Structure 1
Amino acid sequence: MLPLSSPTVLVSAPELLVIAFAFITLLGDAWFVLVGLSVLYWIGPRYVDDARTVAAVCVGFATLGLAAVLAFKSATAIPRPAMTPVDPAGLPPVIGSFVAGEIESDGFTFPSGHATAATVVYGGLGLLLSVGRKRLRYLLAASLIVLISLSRVVLEVHYPRDIIAGMVLGSLLIAVGLAVGRSNDRLHPDRLFALGGVASVVGLGVALQGGHAEEVLQAAIGIGTAIGGVLTWRAFGDRLVAAPPVSLPLAVVGLAVAGGLWIAGYAGVLPAVGAVAASAAAVGIILLLPLAAERRKKSGKTETVEA
């Protein structure tokens, strides 16, 4: 009899753990958070009455959180851990490319931006959305925050102190943000955007003083996002809340245009002033898209009446 050959193990258990946490850390990536909040803002009102206002507030929270992290990272300038949990080249090509992107360790480490963003965004959604049972929302939000934060240590791009600091910072920002952005049980997204703008200006000053070019660009994007959010919501806030949900095709177009502007800013193809303008336009497109849906809806009704 021929000996039976043992099956080839493509991915070891430690590698599988890293891959799993790479997908978890994806939930805290800036682009994923932005896309998720945009979809909630556009389509959420179809299912949850306060989805649009809460989503806008959480975009403001994200701006504030990233600006605060930027300021602290520029001030401390502590390098990331000089380690990698796995060699992406040893993984299947598609998975290896994905993992390589998630364990990239450029920039500074303290505090964790993922832990801060997860806390302000998912914590904000859990606290503010009026869907489901409150206890279940809190549990889900806390689980996401802990898992996303833990993933940064498993992927060896942060130290434990970084994620603890990020969660503490995010919690403080939620408390400050709600104190500023909520009055008489009403949420004011423009106030959160303004607060994020102030934090971004502080971050810009710290980054300039430290000579950190990448952080200067990120601060410029934060300032632009804040400007676009404040101006748009103050001019059209009530109409935006009352506007209908956005259709899927229109949402895809809006995401492509707004995303392209943000990518141009992050890619460094624009100077700092250009990054401010591009990010302001991007958030303006996201916030104003429901008015385009409203116009299309009215046009459809007019055509029906005329017919």
Structure 2
Amino acid sequence: MMTPPLQTLLVSGGDLLVVLFALITLAGDAWFVLVGLAMLYWVGPRYIEDARPVAAVCIGLATLGLAAVLAIKTATGIPRPAMTPVDPTGLPSLIGSFVGGEIESDGFTFPSGHATAATVVYGGLGLLLSVGRRRTRYLIAGGCIALISLSRVVLQVHYPRDVLAGIGLGAVLVAIGITVARDGDRLRPERLFAVSGIVAVIGFGVAVDAGHPREILQGAIGIGTAIGAAAVWYRLGDQLVAAPPVSIPLAAVGLAVAGGLWLGAYVGVLPILGAMAASAVAVGIILMLPLAEQR
């Protein structure tokens, strides 16, 4: 007879597909993107010469993408699909909790934030990083975008039109963002952060007009992130590019502090202005942490 501990580790073949795509969709979650870009920004210069300015630009692209999605989603107000691919309560507890979080259907559906985020971040990395062969970077970026976008349809949290719109929006934002940030052979992330702040203000205004508290909070976080990043890079950009890679222990501390501030903002324990300030401080910690290695 199968023992209960072994039962808790097994899922059926059909459910396994849902779990697999829930894992894939993680790569488009805001927290995953943030952690990945922060680690590239901190540790990447040890291996890739242009990792830090590219990571900073991609943080700006992610902020711009989230702000644009917020504005459009709130303006359109289209509900998500009223269906789920699997009942999370029928899965083993740990797996069920994870899948349940990834198929949560709160909020609006058009366009897909995951498809947009995947396009701006992975597309931006593929276009800007100098590591490896260009064709290989493009193939990896395209594969990430396709799989993350497909996962949103498989998990039934978006319609196909949502992910197609997200990819299209992301492509437009990448083209605009890189054009804004590029200054000859140099990248100027502060320009992109400024544009992201303007779009975040628009999204915040749309959310306030529509009276959606969750979207208002997200708009405030976007504004704070853009303002904090623009101010830091404008003042310290050259020093940040020249600063040494961040050690893993220091990166862990920075991630814990910055992540805690962002978490406090997102869960709504702070007022709007507090969430805005916490977001600004959090991104400031991420960007300025390399300077601590010089002390």
Structure 1's unaligned 5+ residue stretches are 1-7, 296-307
Shift of 1:180: 1.1
1:269 corresponds to: 269
**In terms of mean alpha carbon deviation, does 52-61 or 88-97 score higher?**
88-97
Correspondence 1:69-218 to 2 at 5 A: 69-218=69-218
Higher-Rg member (1/2): 1
How far apart are the structure 2 equivalents of 1:52 and 1:10? 42
Shift of 1:217: 0.4
1:18 corresponds to: 18
1:62 corresponds to: 62
Correspondence 1:216-255 to 2 at 5 A: 216-255=216-255
How far apart are the structure 2 equivalents of 1:74 and 1:267? 19
How far apart are the structure 2 equivalents of 1:177 and 1:41? 18
What are the superposed Cα offsets for residues 36-65 of structure 1, whole Å, 9 maximum, x if unpaired? 000000000000000000000000000000
What are the superposed Cα offsets for residues 173-224 of structure 1, whole Å, 9 maximum, x if unpaired? 0111112111212111111111110000000111111111100100000000
CA RMSD of aligned residues (A): 1.2
List, as ranges, runs of 4+ consecutive aligned residues in structure 1 with deviation greater than 6 Å.
none
2:286 corresponds to: 286
Q: What letter corresponds to residue 211 of structure 1 in structure 2? A: G
How far apart are the structure 2 equivalents of 1:42 and 1:270? 28
Shift of 1:10: 3.8
How far apart are the structure 2 equivalents of 1:107 and 1:146? 23
How far apart are the structure 1 equivalents of 2:14 and 2:213? 36
Q: What letter corresponds to residue 152 of structure 1 in structure 2? A: R
How far apart are the structure 1 equivalents of 2:248 and 2:117? 26
SS in structure 2 at match of 1:294? coil
How far apart are the structure 1 equivalents of 2:10 and 2:208? 47
Shift of 1:12: 2.0
1:28 corresponds to: 28
Q: What letter corresponds to residue 38 of structure 2 in structure 1? A: S
Q: What letter corresponds to residue 13 of structure 2 in structure 1? A: A
How far apart are the structure 2 equivalents of 1:285 and 1:264? 15
What are the superposed Cα offsets for residues 41-93 of structure 1, whole Å, 9 maximum, x if unpaired? 00000000000000000000000000000000000000000101001111111
Normalised to the residue count of structure 1, the TM-score between the two structures is 0.93
SS in structure 1 at match of 2:239? helix
Q: What is the aligned residue count?
A: 289
Structure 2's unaligned 5+ residue stretches are 1-6
1:304 corresponds to: none
How far apart are the structure 2 equivalents of 1:153 and 1:185? 39
How far apart are the structure 2 equivalents of 1:33 and 1:251? 16
What are the superposed Cα offsets for residues 225-263 of structure 1, whole Å, 9 maximum, x if unpaired? 001101000111000000000000000000000000000
